[in-house]
Structure 1
Amino acid sequence: MSRPRIAVTGKASRWAPGWWCAGLAIVLAGGWPVRATPTRPWPRDVAGVVIGGGDDIASDWYAASVETDQGADRARDAFELEAIRVARAGRQPILGICRGAQLLNVAAGGSLHADITPRRRSTSARANPLPCKTIVIRSATGLARVLGVSRLRVNGLHHQAVDRLGQGLIIAARDADGFVQAIEDRAGAPVLGVQWHPEYLIYRRASRRLFTALVTVARQRGS
């Protein structure tokens, strides 16, 4: 059986560990990763999309007034917002990772906390690629069905988070401070955003399941 091609978006940079780790996770799941950046033509014949992590999203995409942006990349914002629009229109599966989850929310008309650091009480603000905090997963969600657990240890590499939820989305998980850790499509479309970085945790079964679910749906939709 052929491997479905999965576009993995990211910044146009040679140093792209997220791309290599997500690509490996997709290969292990039975798919074939194709890198997609604002400086490359959109890859042909893709059956699914991973919106990767990275820079902050420019605040004027979601805020009435522009806030202080830390290294925003507007070209990438526009590129990935269009990728989300096209994928959703074609009912292709989407996995948003960290920034990608936030962008899924912005694409649906939601907003973000520009910096959650001063709002933390029970979780650390220190970036950590290893499992460092526990999230609680809502029952009867697509995420719960994919992972098969109600609690999960995840890493933390973000200082922004979903604030006002976008139209047609539901919250699938939160952390100990109540910050949104996962969102998904309310109607059951194959759209999932996770605030952590599962591509850095592919040695853990739960993280691999996220990529396996994506590739499985991509194969089904492409057959």
Structure 2
Amino acid sequence: MARKSRKPVIGITISNHKSKIMRFFDWLAVWRAGGKAVFLAPGRAYPSEYLDGLIIGGGDDIGAELYGSEINMDVRIDPERDALEMELLRCIADKDVPVLGICRGAQMMNVFYGGTLYSDIRGMPREKTNIRTVLARKIVTLEPGTKVRAVFGLETVRVNSLHHQAVDKVGNGITVSGHDRGDFVQALERADKRFFIGVQWHPELLVFDTRQQALFRHMIEAARDGEKLDSTCLGGP
């Protein structure tokens, strides 16, 4: 009997207070795509000797000091998680480890490369296009020739929307690959990486949408034969 191929190990960043239900959706998306999910949270022991891929997950707002904006006292931040994710991105900056950013994760990818964010789009004239819903109701246009467009195979997709921060200035080397009707950035990527994609929505919650789940399948495939992130980067074993 042929030996089964090893499942790629995918690290998923989370906060220490993320609910078990939301963690389940993260785990399920990776498992369905053929990977093994391990969770990375501030202050916790590194759960694996290496990672084949990284998902920077959704969650609290990113600290405004990381992108030179004014601090908003009305939002919840997680400085320890910010530091963890920035360090992970530094570790893979010169590697070709597949990375998927989800909501906050896409914003962090942009900030790492010198981009900025709108700290709170609520009240902006364009905000009226930002439907807040876990259902796939918002329309996103995907740019031709981009990796995101290739994953979906469509010009437009319907997505959910739970964010109130958004990409403002685009980071160095980042390509905007999708936007909504209010012209807010909804997808970004790097052309010099095999898989470095961030989406402003939550594909892990759209469990019955096969095109949304394709994001995870493409990531897992890229992780099967790509470079690895060694745990020594973060002081692991």
Asked whether the two chains share a fold, i.e. TM above 0.5, the reply is: yes
Distance 1:17 1:185 in 2: 31
Q: Percent identity?
A: 37
Q: Indicate yes or no: 2:27 matched with 1:23.
A: yes
**2:121–2:127 contact (8 Å) kept in structure 1:** no
Distance 1:162 1:124 in 2: 13
SS in 2 for 1:187: coil
Distance 1:129 1:5 in 2: 27
Structure 1 gap segments, 5+ residues each: none
Distance 2:26 2:197 in 1: 15
Residue 188 of structure 1 deviates from its aligned partner by 3.8
TM-score between the two structures when normalised by the length of structure 1: 0.94
1:89: which partner in 2? 94
**Residues 169/69 of structure 1: CA separation in 2 closer, same or farther (3 Å cut):** farther
TM-score between the two structures when normalised by the length of structure 2: 0.88
Task: Please give the residue correspondences for 1:32-181 in structure 2 after superposition, counting only pairs within 5 Å.
Answer: 32-43=36-47, 44-68=49-73, 70-119=75-124, 120=126, 122-125=128-131, 127-181=132-186
**Residues 162/81 of structure 1: CA separation in 2 closer, same or farther (3 Å cut):** same
1:203: which partner in 2? 208
Q: Which amino acid aligns with 2:64?
A: S
Structure 2 gap segments, 5+ residues each: 229-237
Distance 1:69 1:59 in 2: 12
How many equivalent pairs are there? 222
2:16: which partner in 1? 12
1:213: which partner in 2? 218
SS in 2 for 1:60: helix
Distance 2:127 2:104 in 1: 22
Deviations 1:8-48 (A, max 9, x none): 11101262433211210111111000011012123322100
Distance 1:88 1:4 in 2: 20
**Residues 26/170 of structure 1: CA separation in 2 closer, same or farther (3 Å cut):** same
Q: Which amino acid aligns with 2:173?
A: G
